[in-house]
Amino acid sequence: MRKIAVIGWVLVVAAGFGGAAHFNQRLTAERARLRLVPADPLENSPPLVAFTTVALGGFRGLLADLLWLRANQLQEDGQYFELVQLADWIAKLEPRFTTVWAFQSWNMAYNISVLLDRPQDRWRWVRHGISLLRDEGLRYNPGSASLYRELAWLFYHKLGGDSDQAQLFYKKAWAAEMAGLFDGPQPDYARWQAVAASRAALLQRPGVAACLAQMRELGQDPFDAGLLVASNRSAAVSAVLDRTPAARDVLDYLRVQRLREEYRMEPRAMQQVDAAYGPLDWRLPQAHALYWAVQGQPFATGFDAVTLDRQIFQALADGLYKGRLFFNPEEDAFIPSPNFDLLPRVNRLYEESIRAHPGESTFLTARANFLRQAIALLYLYHRDQEAADVLAQLRRLVPEPGEAAALDAFVYKELAAKADALSQDEALAQIEGMAYQSALWLVAGEREHAAGMDQLARQIWKRYMDQRTDPDSRERTGLPPYGQIRRQALDRARTSAKSAAGRARLDAAPAPY
């Protein structure tokens, strides 16, 4: 009897193992599809990572835990530079440990950078933090929605925000990098899609082989990414590139290769994001925050899905206020201004997010605040009908029977309530909006009205800047000179002016003082 019981238990265990074996292959495939398999071999990993992964085996976790305890102590003691090396060891031991990648990048971008005085030194550490997440963290954890979220946040908050005293330096440095890849706010997607897939394919293009040979004769490596910056080229090399039609194929190939290898971005993915949410200006950090948040969406569930959605519409709403850039490094001019093309995109995105997350009241509140700000912005740029339409949307979302329905009354109340509490973005948008209205009155020949609106814009600019008596605050949250803002507004009005007489009146406008 006892033998029969033992045999029965053996059969049960065997059946269990058989069932597990049957489902194991399906479960393993599903885990691999979702990129949740921490034990997978690391592809193309550095020798040290490969060695520790194989040699230490299960002891890696124990050693990483001990180092993590030490890292926490260093964090509490403010010893950030020592923490960088320790966190690097932890990442080498446990490259699938996403928390350490997020922690280390945050430490570089936020903690270490602010210990340095020179903006270029701060930028170097912020850049390291971005590169660490993008180039290494996501390389070992390509299915981690949380790392995509962290990377998007670095672009949105650290580069796109104004919390850091050196934030304007970061924005200009990033815009200059992107300007080295393409001219204007966007790349030529059609040309980038047609770029040769390899060097061998590039050599098959007409005239390319001869162009490469001429550059080699001049001692220039034709595949050096430095060629993309005109100041890095010799006069002779520039002459070859200028007079050779095939040079454009070579430069486009270098641009796309650099985009993929250095920035880990794909032209097709950029175009898809632009089509869904744009038009975007890729020289601005908001576009990159949007890009990385979108890339993380396929892997996001639960909290990650909510936060990525929130990150997307925050970046897009930010783009409405400062998604159009006037950038001229020679004049040290960096003036973001509103991109009204994004308004319907942001509205649609809010509606989709509210439907997708019905229990999240923060989405409703955020949309109402966004609509209030959009109404005032549209009004300042003389887009009265659009402002009235958005006001109607706000009234449907948040009924307020006691409130005046008139657009003028609503805008004046909003502006008066926020006159002394404007953020940098809001102040810049309002001042340029008033300068733009002044330009429109000039087009119409109403000089007195134009002068009055111009004077109001100057007064708000002065009031905003006078509140920033501390040099650090003035540098971090100050505005460009009013003359630059007014020039941007005049250029916008000149583009929209239909008559030659109106454009002539703008050209004759007095110089800003």
Average pLDDT rounded to a whole number, residues 200-229: 88
What is the mean predicted confidence (pLDDT) over 146-163? Answer: 94
pLDDT > 90? residue 144: yes
pLDDT in tens, 462-492: 888 888 888 888 888 889 999 899 888 888 8
Instruction: Please state, in angstroms and rounded to a whole number, the distance separating the CA atoms of residues 14 and 1.
Output: 20
So what's the pLDDT on residue 42? 44
**Do 150 and 105 meet the contact criterion of CB atoms below 8 Å apart?**
yes
| Per-residue CA distances from 129 to 73, 107, 118, 154, 384 (Å) | 21, 8, 17, 8, 43
Q: Residue 170's closest CA among 154, 178, 159, 180?
A: 159
Among 62-71, 104-113, 372-381, 491-500, whose mean pLDDT is lowest?
Answer: 62-71
Token couple for 122: 């701060």
Smallest CA-to-CA distance from 333 within 488, 165, 472, 167 is with 488
Helix (H) or strand (E) run with residue 326 in it:
strand 324-328
Prior bond to 279 cis, omega within 30?
yes
Question: Does 59 have pLDDT greater than 60?
Answer: no
| Residue type at 325 in one-letter notation | L
Contacts of 347 (CB under 8 A, 6+ apart): 393
Q: Which two tokens stand for residue 319?
A: 């783009």
Mean pLDDT comparison of 221-230, 271-280, 420-429, highest-scoring range: 271-280
Distances (CA, A) of 58 to 53, 360, 449: 9, 41, 76
Residue with more model confidence, 428 or 64: 428
Q: What is the mean pLDDT of residues 33-61?
A: 49
Instruction: Give the range among 152-161, 165-174, 214-223, 229-238 with minimum mean pLDDT.
Output: 229-238
**Alpha-carbon dihedral 28, 30, 33, 35, rounded to 10 degrees:** -60
- Are the C-beta atoms of residues 383 and 377 closer than 8 Å to each other? no
pLDDT in tens, 231-258: 788 888 888 888 888 888 988 999 999 9
Question: How far is it, in rounded angstroms, from Cα 444 to Cα 372?
Answer: 29
Q: What is the DSSP letter of 42?
A: P
291 in Cβ contact with 159 (< 8 Å): no
Q: Which residue has the higher pLDDT, 70 or 249?
A: 249
pLDDT of residue 44: 45
pLDDT greater than 70 at residue 315 = yes
First-to-last C-alpha distance (Å) of the chain: 105
* pLDDT interval class at 336 (50, 70, 90): confident
Report which of 492, 183, 141, 155 is spatially closest to residue 340, judged by C-alpha positions.
492
Tell me if 40 sits within 8 A of 32, measured CB to CB: yes
Q: Residue 12 is encoded by which pair of tokens?
A: 């049960």
In this prediction, residue 445 has a pLDDT band, given cuts at 50, 70 and 90, of: confident
pLDDT in tens, 490-511: 888 888 777 787 777 787 776 5
Q: Could you please report the per-residue DSSP string of 23-47?
A: HHHHHHHHHHHTT--TTSPPTT--H
Residue owning tokens 């609106």? 453
How far apart (Å, rounded) are the C-alpha atoms in residues 363 and 300?
A: 18
Q: Which two tokens stand for residue 99?
A: 């928390």
What length is written for the chain? 513
CA-to-CA distance for 229 and 262, rounded, in angstroms?
Answer: 15
Selected residue with higher pLDDT from 186 and 409? 186
Segment 103-132 mean pLDDT: 90
Q: Two tokens at 63?
A: 């050693």
pLDDT at position 25 is: 57
Does the pLDDT value for residue 298 go beyond 90? yes
At 40, is the pLDDT very low, low, confident or very high (cuts 50, 70, 90)?
very low
Q: Which CATH number fits domain 47-139: 1.10.287, 3.40.50, 1.25.40, 2.60.40?
A: 1.25.40
Helix 424-443 and helix 482-496, axial crossing angle in degrees, nearest 10:
50
The residue among 368, 377, 494, 389 whose CA lies nearest residue 439 is 494
> How many CB atoms within 10 Å of residue 157?
19
pLDDT of residue 23: 53
Contact 270, 187 (CB under 8 A): yes
| CA 481 – CA 165 distance, rounded (Å) | 18
The two tokens of residue 308 are 């990525």
For the chain, the structural domain boundaries read 47-139, 362-416
**Of the candidates 271, 393, 366, the residue with the CA atom closest to the CA atom of residue 311:** 366
pLDDT value of residue 39: 41
Residue 444 CA to residue 370 CA, distance in Å, equals 31
Phi-psi region of 332 (alpha: psi -120 to 50; beta: other; left: phi over 0): left
CA 369, chain centre distance (Å)? 22
The answer, yes or no, to whether residue 54 has pLDDT greater than 80, is no
Separation of alpha carbons 69 and 479, rounded Å: 44
Question: Above pLDDT 70, what percent of the chain?
Answer: 80
Residues linked to residue 324 through DSSP beta bridges, in sequence order: 337
